[in-house]
Structure 1
Amino acid sequence: MFSETKSLGPAWVKEFLLRQESFWDVNDTGMGSWIWRKLLKLRPVARHFIRMEIHNSQTVRFWTDIWHPLGRLIDITGAVGTQKLGVQRSTRVFEVWDGINWNFRRCRDRQLCNMIQQIEQHHLDFDLSTPDVVLWKNSSSDYREWFSAVDTWHLIRHTRPTQEWSKVIWFPQGVPRFSFITWLAVKNRLSTGDRMRTWGHTQGCIFCGEPNETRDHLFFACPYTFTVWIEVVGTLLGRDPDPYWENTLDHLTHHRFDFLTSILIRLVFQVTIYMVWRERNDRKHMKNPRQASQLAKVIDKPVRNRITSTKYTQKPRLRGLLQLWFTAHM
């Protein structure tokens, strides 16, 4: 949208959506895709990341493009600046700059005079043989000719201290759908009965009839889910399973398991939370309930499937993974 690329996508956007207007000024007319309308809404954010580097000055718009450290000049002067300087809003830089001098209408406005002075003091590498370049912000002070999703994410995100329990959720052998539900459970964001009560809906534990269904009750203070947890975790914990959520999470977070055990214990923990939550929702929607031993078998299958998919026999560090799983359940 900013460079003179001949790619089909940008060319189509310029022809049918921008229609000779600047990306910063075009109105959202409802045309274009959902992504296009999202891009328009993100313009206030994007302004902090894009900068134009002038060489032949043929494509950069004087007023609306971000080529000067001051930012968009039209935002400084307002629409009246175009009249006072005699420079139209759509004017390109080459129309008011010949590579040496700037051609502005004389003006007595102090703000405009200060702006003109800063424009004249700003050094530009004029070169008719080199096209103008679009730069993208990759760090607090570094602009480059390519876009990096990782660098941009780090610039816009709000960083917070790493939670100790994060290693229980995110690990290379994890499965995203299991990790996500476990993350919601750790954050206590699953729609359990105590949370649904704030929406005017009463929901007790479907498994045992406990009037107050909470995250801590489901995992694993409930007799049904605790029975499942005992069966699927086997001897991996190195101690007897604990029905209390905080104790279980604290043990998984701080206890020093060996490498293979740490993989299995996190995997079975996540699969159990996922399957218990799915069983709870299935029963809520009148599907046939499973006994604890049946649900344990359901949990065992994706664990073994994930172990197999790691190709553990070809990786020295993972050899013995499946054998350890079977040994823990003898």
Structure 2
Amino acid sequence: MAILDWLPTKDRLSRFGLAVDVACLVCGSDSESRDRLFAACPFAMDVWNTVLSLCGTRCAALTWDQRLSWMVGNLKGKTFRVRILKLAWTSFLYYIWEERNYRYFRGISSSSEVIVKRIKEAVKAKLYSLSLHRVDDGNRFLYINWELF
């Protein structure tokens, strides 16, 4: 739903004629849109940059389209790093959206560190349910950073 821009963000709700305050719930600035929520929001940028550093990579993409293009270009193959990045990306989308909903419906907010911890737990749980690659020098860094030992 995020890729198709079908999430009921505030900008979409206002386009449908609903009277809503369009400010981003996560950072409080600008209009809440998919692009803002998952790419331009400082909170989301902090979470995603932390996830990327756990994978030993960087991404200079600042917009949703740039980030999606980076993902398509870099998530090819079946390496352990690519598997983790794919799981981390879907977890990132899920937990940022969940954080937005917690703030909107429950008035509860979490720090970016808590969201990163949730992403790490989700990635670990999924990797443990699959057959893990053997630890070698190439992916030892990933095992340590994602606490897979």
Matching of residue 288 in structure 1 with residue 108 in structure 2: yes
Letter matched to residue 304 of structure 1: K
Matching of residue 212 in structure 1 with residue 64 in structure 2: no
Where in structure 1 are there 5+ consecutive unaligned residues?
A: 1-183, 313-317
Matching of residue 186 in structure 1 with residue 19 in structure 2: no
Correspondence for 2:19? 201
**Partner secondary structure for residue 234 of structure 1:** helix
Contact in 2 for aligned 1:237/1:265 (Cα 8 Å):
no
Correspondence for 1:319? 134
Where in structure 2 are there 5+ consecutive unaligned residues?
A: none
1:290-328: CA deviation from partner (whole Å, max 9, x where unpaired): 01111111111111111111132xxxxx33498453455
Q: TM-score, normalised by structure 2?
A: 0.82
Distance in 2 (alpha carbons) for counterparts of 1:292 and 1:256:
24
CA shift in 2, pair 1:255/1:232, >3 Å? closer
More helix by share: 2
Q: TM-score, normalised by structure 1?
A: 0.39
1:1-330 equivalences in 2 (<5 Å): 184-199=1-16, 200-202=18-20, 203-234=22-53, 236=55, 238-255=57-74, 259-312=79-132, 318-320=133-135, 323-327=140-144
Q: Which runs of 4+ in 1 moved over 6 A?
A: none
Q: Give the deviation of 1:329 after TM superposition.
A: 6.2
Contact in 1 for aligned 2:59/2:70 (Cα 8 Å):
no
Cα RMSD, aligned residues only: 2.4
Contact in 2 for aligned 1:272/1:299 (Cα 8 Å):
yes
1:265-291: CA deviation from partner (whole Å, max 9, x where unpaired): 111000010000011001101242101
Distance in 2 (alpha carbons) for counterparts of 1:329 and 1:311:
16
Q: Give the deviation of 1:222 after TM superposition.
A: 0.3
Question: Which of these two proteins has the greater Rg computed from alpha carbons?
Answer: 1
Contact in 1 for aligned 2:10/2:33 (Cα 8 Å):
yes
Number of equivalent positions: 142
Q: Which has the higher contact order (CA 8 A, sep 6+)?
A: 2
